Amino acid sequence: MERIDQRLSEELTGQVTRAVRETLRAELSEAVRESARKRKRTAALYAGAAAAALYAGAAVALALGLVIALGLPDWAAALIVAAVLGAAAYALRRAARPKRPAVPEAAPPMPSEPPATGTP
């Protein structure tokens, strides 16, 4: 009788364990799917914002070039706008780089004893 009770208890424990694992897997996969859906939407919105900002920047550069072209030749206006945009890109790149710690210049090591001459 004890064997049957023990066997039924083990079988029931195994079934409950499997049921709990399956339920947890289903819940976890649903939570992961929902999180991925939200992140995908956020990424798409950021991509759209970046594209709009790119076009806005191009429009500002064009407007600046047209304003400068009122007083200068077209090629000079384009050159000035290109130089300004290049300087802005360089400044942004320098700001994005991590700061390197200053490395002090090391003096060559000084021997603590005079070198041996090799003859006694």
Q: What angle do CA 67, 69, 71 make, to 5 degrees?
A: 95
Per-residue confidence in pLDDT tens, the chain, 120 aa: 777 778 888 888 888 888 888 888 888 888 888 888 888 888 888 899 989 999 999 999 999 999 989 999 988 988 998 999 889 888 888 888 877 766 666 666 676 776 667 665
Looking at residue 72, the DSSP 8-state letter turns out to be: S
* pTM summary value: 0.49
Q: Output the pLDDT for position 105.
A: 67
Tally of CB atoms within 10 A around 81 = 20
Do residues 64 and 84 touch, judged by C-beta distance below 8 A?
A: yes
The token duo for 44 is 């798409």
Tokens 């970046």 correspond to what residue? 50
| 3-state SS class at 47 | helix
Question: How far is residue 57's CA from residue 51's CA, in Å, rounded to a whole number?
Answer: 10
- The first and second tokens of residue 32, run together, are 């992961």
